[in-house]
Structure 1
């Protein structure tokens, strides 16, 4: 018996093999189907997908034998990877000095016939073989050899797909960790900023009250600027918190309720003025869904219909319907509208329509992003249609 030599590129080859993250992984159907097919195509007793590690030959898939690995010094595959440009085919291993008195050429199930197709990755490294083995001398036809080569290519493709999936899972894990860290950071910072902002607002109001008779009107306006800016910052902080805390809404259990009751509750919160007319759905509908999440969605959308409206009389129409799988909601207003070029990005985080609201304040681009995030998490979708200066319609679905 001749112990297999070590390839000249061994350190790089082992590094390429390890990078696949496939050694010692569980059996997989896709690989097992290939070894089964190889055994039937070549009419042999054994078929293997073998990988040559530093000191062993390990089987990712095996057909016809029960062992999972063997020492590298006894490996047929370790000889095959020394000439990766061609298959290693031996009709009778007992007559080959490399395998004379090899433990696997003897015993109850001897490896007499061997054919190994090197598994070569995209960098040219021979990682192992797709091999077929029998306990009697044998030859393969050209068609059988071509078929084995085609199957070997499929093994490499599966290796690469597995690697990409593992890399993707690793990246997703890192992104999830970073997102959780960012979420915690945003919550801590937002909460920590709320009290100083409240103090700034209160202090500026007290100073303005005390200094009114000593300062002229133009100077006193600076206190209004401070107050206005502080409230804008407070709104921004609240929107950031709502965005990062929206995930917790999805954990709430579905409940049954009247949609009209929810709308009345929302309108009371929004403190609707007398110049606003809101048309409720014609039919009272009973819903069975995540009430708190739907409430947050509607507060944002109806609130926008009120804020981004330049008409003397505000009109908002709310409609709802359902099918076997979804609840459908539609909110139409006679507001300012959204520019056509902004419709595709209006749901992106921090994207705005570059317009100011009814009070002259500019949006921060968080509210609609939060709405879309909640709706997507509820298994639904949202769309918007708008005509500048005429109306805007938001239509969304949530899964029952």
Structure 2
């Protein structure tokens, strides 16, 4: 439902303000509406360029909300807020056409406007270009003006139109940032709920499972049980299955917790890797070589990542050679990358994407035990830090895992 030309109905007003909020431009009760700092600086530069190229002393980027005009970028004047009723741009911006007025006192659309009459300003020359997004939404205008009558050349009008498109690009950038922030917040909330659910399920299943395993151990220790009896064989299978299920519960819980709360700190790759090797009982075996690197990462999650990668190297070692694992890293202004290279069985190129999915195992002959969550957990840790995990072949055979940790996370 629409009103008179250039006017909006109540329904349209609500829709306009909702659309502005999607762009991170929230009118709010105090009538202030500002983009983020980075966008604000870029807008200021574009407005300045518009005034210089059009040889006009003043320029603004106006955003029109349901009730106000907000100057979010300005040159030659201090950015301010006025009622939409007083706005010059609000009278013409919905036409989606450029407006060039050499002398506003002679134009019936603006002659009685307070920006022209002297009540608010003394505008004579006025030129504006609507800011139209790809979806057709027009949040406002880029305009230049002067307190003296003036004409614009066709070339200057063309420049003003180009700069208006650049303003739209900045607003679209902020729009995508708002969408990403919202998605990240939803993902964080979802991860928190998942971790809570997994914790409850893990707790509820772990108690009866550990009770069963406890009874199995008691029966296995019974002196009357014959080691080669059918009952002993069944108990052994029950115990093995129960322990595998308990390990899977722990892996699922660890996987659900990844990314729930990242607390980056300066951490030593060498110290963390040596602690993990000690926990796995391989510290003194001599097949793990570590180069030191100080990186910015969540210490607990880096530890989990290295533990999973070292466990995988042990589980999928090659029967043809003694296991060797090299842990190293490089850093620069982009951040740091950690490499864990083994000389094991490796993973064929066609399987490298698949094995990063949760609960996926290749099930090759001679492979060690696992739940299919190790590499998926490592990939989630990389993503939670804003990086990524990639798999490649180690020269001479084996698997090299590269995990990036971007700077400034």
Distance of aligned partners of 1:61 and 1:270 in 2 relative to their CA distance in 1, 3 Å threshold: same
Alpha-carbon distance in structure 2 between the residues aligned to 1:378 and 1:47: 39
Between stretches 103-112 and 150-159, larger displacement belongs to 103-112
| 3-state SS, counterpart of residue 111 of structure 1 | coil
| 3-state SS, counterpart of residue 346 of structure 1 | helix
Asked if structure 2 preserves the Cα contact closer than 8 Å seen for 1:51 and 1:57, the reply is yes
| 3-state SS, counterpart of residue 97 of structure 1 | coil
Task: Report the CA distance between 1:199 and its aligned residue.
Answer: 0.7
Is it true that 1:189 corresponds to 2:201 in the alignment?
yes
- Identify the residue that residue 7 of structure 2 maps to in structure 1: 7
- Identify the residue that residue 346 of structure 1 maps to in structure 2: 355
Alpha-carbon distance in structure 2 between the residues aligned to 1:118 and 1:327: 46
Distance of aligned partners of 1:369 and 1:256 in 2 relative to their CA distance in 1, 3 Å threshold: closer
Give CA deviations for 1:12-61 in whole Å, capped at 9, x if unaligned.
47624531322412460121112111111111121121122222222121
Is it true that 1:103 corresponds to 2:121 in the alignment?
no
Over aligned residues, Cα RMSD in angstroms? 4.3
- Identify the residue that residue 312 of structure 2 maps to in structure 1: 304
Distance of aligned partners of 1:156 and 1:16 in 2 relative to their CA distance in 1, 3 Å threshold: farther
- Identify the residue that residue 71 of structure 2 maps to in structure 1: 59
- Identify the residue that residue 367 of structure 1 maps to in structure 2: 374
The structure 2 residue matched to 1:392, chosen from 373, 398, 403, is 398
Alpha-carbon distance in structure 1 between the residues aligned to 2:357 and 2:78: 55
Is it true that 1:226 corresponds to 2:238 in the alignment?
yes
Asked if structure 1 preserves the Cα contact closer than 8 Å seen for 2:361 and 2:372, the reply is yes
- For structure 1, the residue ranges without an aligned partner over 5 or more in a row are none
Bigger radius of gyration, 1 or 2?
1
1:124-139 alignment runs, 5 A limit: 124-139=136-151
Is it true that 1:355 corresponds to 2:364 in the alignment?
yes
Task: Report the CA distance between 1:6 and its aligned residue.
Answer: 4.2
- For structure 2, the residue ranges without an aligned partner over 5 or more in a row are 28-32
Q: TM-score of the superposition, structure 1-length normalised?
A: 0.76
Is it true that 1:48 corresponds to 2:55 in the alignment?
no
Between stretches 256-265 and 96-105, larger displacement belongs to 256-265
Distance of aligned partners of 1:271 and 1:38 in 2 relative to their CA distance in 1, 3 Å threshold: closer
Asked if structure 1 preserves the Cα contact closer than 8 Å seen for 2:50 and 2:160, the reply is yes
| 3-state SS, counterpart of residue 20 of structure 1 | helix
Alpha-carbon distance in structure 1 between the residues aligned to 2:268 and 2:397: 33
- Identify the residue that residue 25 of structure 1 maps to in structure 2: 34
Asked if structure 1 preserves the Cα contact closer than 8 Å seen for 2:356 and 2:379, the reply is yes
1:104-183 alignment runs, 5 A limit: 104-107=115-118, 109-183=121-195
Task: Report the CA distance between 1:65 and its aligned residue.
Answer: 2.0
Asked if structure 2 preserves the Cα contact closer than 8 Å seen for 1:279 and 1:317, the reply is yes
| 3-state SS, counterpart of residue 315 of structure 1 | coil
Between stretches 144-153 and 237-246, larger displacement belongs to 237-246
Is it true that 1:35 corresponds to 2:47 in the alignment?
yes
Alpha-carbon distance in structure 2 between the residues aligned to 1:73 and 1:327: 56
Give CA deviations for 1:159-198 in whole Å, capped at 9, x if unaligned.
2222121111111110111112212222232233222111
